[in-house]
Amino acid sequence: MTGRLDELTSWHADWKGLRVAVLGLSMTGFSVADTLAELGAEVLVVTQDADAEYARLLPVIGATLWTGPLDTVPAELEAFAPEVVVASPGFAPHHPVIAWVRASGIALWGDIELAWRVRDKVVRADGTPADWVLITGTNGKTTTTQLTAAMLVAGGLRAAPVGNIGVPVLDAVRDPAGFDVLVVELSSHQLWYLSLQDGPDPLSPHASVCLNLADDHLQWHGSFAAYRDAKAVVYENTRVACVYNKADAATRVMVEEADVVDGCRAIGFDLGVPGPGDLGVVDGILVDRAFLDDRRTRALELTTVADLAARGLAAPHVVANILAAAALARSLDVPPAAIAAALDTFRLDAHRIEVVAVTAGITWVDDSKATNPHAAASSLAAFPGAVWVVGGQLKGVDIAELVAARGGGVKAAIVIGVDRDPITEAFARHAPGIPLFEVDHAQTEDVMAQVVELAAEIARDGDVVLLAPAAASFDQFDSYADRGHRFARAVKDRVDRDENQQDRSHGGGAGDDDDPAADPPRGAAG
């Protein structure tokens, strides 16, 4: 079967009749099934739970659906005898179905490999498909992906942010308008599947970056070493620029060990003064000393920290993301003026160091996206002395190192979530003098209200209350966004209540509470 698969490196190859099983029916799984059906393959989608809309569409596109428990290999999957299995990234290496696929010698792909193989459906004017830029890292992937795409667009290129950011790469590959560049955010799960590719035309990006590396997703990968090895795949076969974080030695080692195309350069970035070939910061100015001819004696100005601060983009880890994105954009000849123009209008997504309120001198910050200790460390560095809201589902990660490094610098800690014990134990061991408050594993609707009431009692004029959980949200919330939204809503409810009390204390009158026109219902604007 390998012989036929080796020939399937183009949209225009003969995919007809190829038996492909697709594992999972998320947005990614459906894009895989839809692509394969369009190519003429015979498609069986296997999933435990099916989204109703996707399930309705599968027979329309010509694919077959099987649903049921996947703790063992379904007989229907074995009977289908797939020649290729394309798995959604949620399926871990130790999953029973994945283990069966690998033991059976069946080709196992992720959606990224399929997208690379058919990337030539729509080509540019010169007949070549879009360049790919790959972005990964424990933290900062989505922001850097958005930044890079914005810079490329400002530079006159047609670019799309895709992948783990929420837009399947296959959707962009099949977009009839076509692109100059696909900016592909990759999770460690997607990179693990990419590490399995053994065809004659492996993915070869124009440029790539691993922003940073810290413990995360250890339950999925089984060990930190396996997680690190998956992340390192991002640099393989890079053609022009391997961008790495000079402040994170692990990323430099990845670049040094990567098998890249001859002539590919290693480009470093950090918040210090850059050497020739790097990007960094000099006297509050972000500069490029990598992509200019006279880089030993000159530097190109990109923007200033003051300008970034005016747009809420000056937190150290955000500046690092901007430098990484600028390096990727400069590798594609985007001029410095276009990078500055992109930053003028760029805004961080919700739940990423988002100030949700400033009241009574207290600043309330939602960084619910800080779902692991590394991300939370960046937030704590940006807001020293904060009242820290921490906790959730730790995913097997040890939080003691974070508490040892940063816990002693907070004003107080409010601990939430199912994995509270490791956090309280870490504080007892490493920061015993810090006031510690626990919110019981309460109903979802009550958690953030309790958090905000506690924080309001602790915080004083000039303080910051920082939601940077260092943990996943799924123990109590639908997502990190749901967690952040509930925090912001609880803060707004508290602010509204305080303002209403102040109004009454200043002579509002006993009848005002009964006036339906006096104020909207609490939270109505939320």
Length of the chain: 526
Which residues face 244 on adjacent strands? 210, 268
Q: Using pLDDT thresholds of 50, 70 and 90, give the confidence band for residue 222.
A: confident
Question: What percent of the chain shows pLDDT beyond 90?
Answer: 84
CATH of the domain at 276: 3.40.1190.10
Q: Which residues are annotated as a binding site?
A: 137-143
Q: Are residues 194 and 317 in the same domain?
A: yes
Of 277, 303, 280, nearest to 292 by C-alpha is: 277
Task: Report d(CA 491, CA 497) in Å as an integer.
Answer: 10
Residues 15-28: tens digit of each pLDDT = 999 999 999 999 99
Q: What is the Cα Rg of the chain in Å?
A: 25
Question: What count of Cα atoms within 13 Å lies in the side-chain half-sphere of residue 7?
Answer: 9
Distance between CA 443 and CA 347 in Å, rounded? 33
Whole-model pTM over 0.85? no
What the block records as the tokens of 61 is: 């596109």
Whether residues 168 and 192 fall in one domain:
yes
Per-residue model confidence as pLDDT tens digits over 379-432 = 999 899 999 999 999 988 899 999 999 999 999 999 999 999 999 999 999 999
Task: Identify whether the C-beta of residue 302 lies closer than 8 Å to the C-beta of residue 339.
Answer: yes
Q: What is the mean pLDDT of the chain?
A: 92
Q: Render pLDDT for 54-87 as a digit per residue (tens, 0 to 9).
A: 999 999 999 999 999 999 999 999 999 999 999 9
Contact (Cβ atoms closer than 8 angstroms) between residue 431 and residue 403:
yes
Q: Could you say which of 327, 345, 363 is where a domain stops? A: 345
CA distances from 80 to 64, 77, 92 (A): 11, 5, 22
pLDDT at 404: 96
Query: Which domain covers residue 6, as residue numbers?
Result: 2-109
- Domain count within the chain: 3
pLDDT tens profile 150-206: 999 999 999 999 999 999 999 999 999 999 999 999 999 999 999 999 889 999 999
* Annotated binding-site members for ATP: 137-143
Q: Are 19 and 41 in contact (CB under 8 A)?
A: yes
Confidence of residue 506 (pLDDT cuts 50, 70, 90): low
Shared domain check, 301 and 195: yes
Cβ atoms within 10 Å, residue 410: 23
Dist. CA 356–CA 87, nearest whole Å: 38
Domain match, 53 and 167 both: no
Residue 136 has pLDDT above 70, yes or no: yes
At 364-387, the pLDDT tens digits run 999 999 999 989 998 999 899 999
Q: How far apart are the first and last CA of the chain?
A: 56
At residue 1, the pLDDT reads: 55
Check which CATH number belongs to the domain holding 496 and give it.
Answer: 3.90.190.20
For residue 411, tell me if it sits in a domain.
Answer: yes
Q: Is residue 512 part of a domain?
A: no
